A and B are shown apart, each in its own frame.
Chain A
Amino acid sequence: MVSLLDIIGPVMVGPSSSHTAGACRLGLLARGLVGGTPERALIELHGSFARTGEGHGTDKAIAGGLMGFRPDDDRIRDALDIAEREGLVYTFEKTKLGEEGETHPNTVRITLEHGSRKAVMMGASLGAGRVLVNEVDGYPVEVSGAYHTIVLVAEDIKGSIARISGILADDGVNIANLRLTRKQRGGDAFMVIEVDDRPEEQALDDILALDWVQWAYRLDKVAG
């Protein structure tokens, strides 16, 4: 269903909803994976992002997102200078992340380090500012950023979903979508849990207290 407010909006830094606003959202999601502004970032641009990204400020928008700027934050224009002052060391590379026709033309792979945390995220800007994260640390996922999202890696034990959804229910968090992926049977399971309201820190702490959960992160809603 099309919303009137989707048409009159979003408020954003120009010039392109896909190459600027969407790129910023991908940076914001990647930031969530390391829980703050990274010290190091390798940003690999593919397809149209690589070809016309500089002219659309895609580099500035992603760097801005990594520092927590939202798409309407006019600091995006100066994000590369701000990054240097903030101690974010970034490298942009143009590369091929997949085959034409299979990999979305506006795809980026972002590799981050923040303290002891490292993460690799691949995602695409689909148009009109909508984004889709399709890989985190090698796990195939689908995160749109249209919800507050919890991502976690856990041992693939029986009843893991019941335990985690129980914890979230106890903490008053309503689950909108839950998806589980794993590289192989009995291997680590990667869970993407989209929830209606921003979960409290407590919910995340309770999940992390489970000894079979390796790590969990809370990604803020970046769209919608």
Chain B
Amino acid sequence: MYKALADAIRDAESQGTTLARVALEAESRDQGRTVDDIRSVLHRALVVMRGAVAQGLTGDLRSASGLVGGDAAKMRHGAAGPLSGTPFREVLARALAVQEVNAAMGVIVAAPTAGGAGVLPAVLTGLADARGLSDDAIVDALATAGLIGAIVAERASLSGAEGGCQAETGAAAGMAAGAATEMLGGTPSQAGHAVALAQQGTLGLVCDPLGGLVELPCVFRNATGSAIALAAVEMALAGITFAIPADEVIDVMGEIGRSMDVRYRETAGGGLAATPTGRRLARERLVQIKRSSP
């Protein structure tokens, strides 16, 4: 697999093809599997993603602690805001939906992780459905997203415990932004700028879930991460470029993660988890989970 996005962009552009194509071919070479085989695995992932979106939008879910659930349905059916009727609002609803399913022990695709699982399905299916694109187009986009994620894993990290939330929902935003840009007709180079634009917007983001549970703020971080991805797609498709290449933005994300205090790396020792309300809620809810557990 590629270790630099710049190399993948160069190969795709010199061959007059897409990042999705070069990613599938690299995976095929590495793993000794056919491109069709890899696409069929990605297609199964898409089916699970769509299932999680649908389940989350019903609004019937509650997490173990009761801290999250039901907000995706509000985004769908609640009062109109300035984004009402746009794909943007639908993407936010779907991001909340998938992450609420995750918190309620539903079935999701950990892409790149369970905690950041809402961004990719929300952005890709939300935009594809709004444009009437086929599932094949989304499967290609998942290949592009996988390529970007593999590069982040190689150069930085995809773990909140290692790199903070910038490595989970931040990486997810970068993956979704690059993949969606290409899915909507952008060039490989534009997709690269979308990755950089999204990732720069999440640099420094800490991982600070209440009580250490993948619930709050994780559900909402997936929605705001998706919003950042959409902003990056919109800018990249308009022809805006980001002066620092994506690979260097990813490198610095890794560096920031490594120097991040342990309190901000999934330990519930800092950030929102350590606020007075965060501590109180975690205490109350953990007691409640214990009571409901045998």
Interface residues of A, Cβ cutoff 8 Å to B: 1-17, 20-21, 48, 51-52, 54-57, 59-60, 72, 74, 76-77, 80, 127-129
Min distance, Cβ B275 to any Cβ of chain A, angstroms: 18
A74 to B285, CA, bound (A): 24
A115 to B133, CA, bound (A): 55
Chain A residues whose C-beta falls within 8 Å of the C-beta of B48 in the assembled complex: 11, 72
Query: Closest A-chain residue to B113, C-beta based?
Result: A17
9 contacts between A and B (CB under 8 A): A3-B27, A7-B145, A8-B42, A11-B45, A11-B110, A16-B115, A55-B215, A57-B64, A74-B106
A80 to B215, CA, bound (A): 22
Q: B212 contacts the other chain (Cβ, under 8 Å)? A: yes
A76 to B27, CA, bound (A): 32
Shortest Cβ-Cβ A-B pairs, 10 listed: A14-B102, A4-B146, A7-B149, A15-B214, A2-B150, A52-B212, A55-B213, A4-B27, A77-B105, A7-B146
The one of B31, B38, B107, B285 in contact with A12, judged by C-beta atoms closer than 8 angstroms, is: B107
Q: B12 contacts the other chain (Cβ, under 8 Å)? A: no
Min distance, Cβ B267 to any Cβ of chain A, angstroms: 9
Q: Do A9 and B214 touch (CB < 8 A)?
A: no
Chain B residues whose C-beta falls within 8 Å of the C-beta of A48 in the assembled complex: 212
Most buried by B among A9, A48, A57, A127: A9
Q: A4-B1, A7-B150, A7-B158 are in contact. List 8 more A-B contacts (CB 8 A).
A: A1-B1, A8-B149, A13-B106, A13-B108, A17-B114, A72-B48, A77-B106, A128-B159
Chain A residues whose C-beta falls within 8 Å of the C-beta of B108 in the assembled complex: 11-14
Min distance, Cβ B281 to any Cβ of chain A, angstroms: 12
The one of B31, B117, B120, B294 in contact with A14, judged by C-beta atoms closer than 8 angstroms, is: B117
Interface residues of B, Cβ cutoff 8 Å to A: 1, 23-24, 26-27, 30-31, 38, 41-42, 44-45, 48, 63-65, 101-115, 117, 120, 142-143, 145-147, 149-150, 153-154, 158-159, 161, 175, 211-215, 285-286, 289-290, 293-294
Chain A residues whose C-beta falls within 8 Å of the C-beta of B115 in the assembled complex: 15-16
Chain B residues whose C-beta falls within 8 Å of the C-beta of A128 in the assembled complex: 110, 113, 158-159
Chain B residues whose C-beta falls within 8 Å of the C-beta of A129 in the assembled complex: 110
The one of A4, A10, A11, A72 in contact with B23, judged by C-beta atoms closer than 8 angstroms, is: A4
A11 to B149, CA, bound (A): 16
Known: A21-B110, A54-B64, A76-B105. A5 touches B214 (CB 8 A): no
Q: Do B64 and A55 touch (CB < 8 A)?
A: yes
The one of A5, A7, A12, A54 in contact with B289, judged by C-beta atoms closer than 8 angstroms, is: A54
Q: Do A3 and B30 touch (CB < 8 A)?
A: yes
Q: Do B27 and A14 touch (CB < 8 A)?
A: no
Known: A3-B150, A4-B143. A56 touches B106 (CB 8 A): no
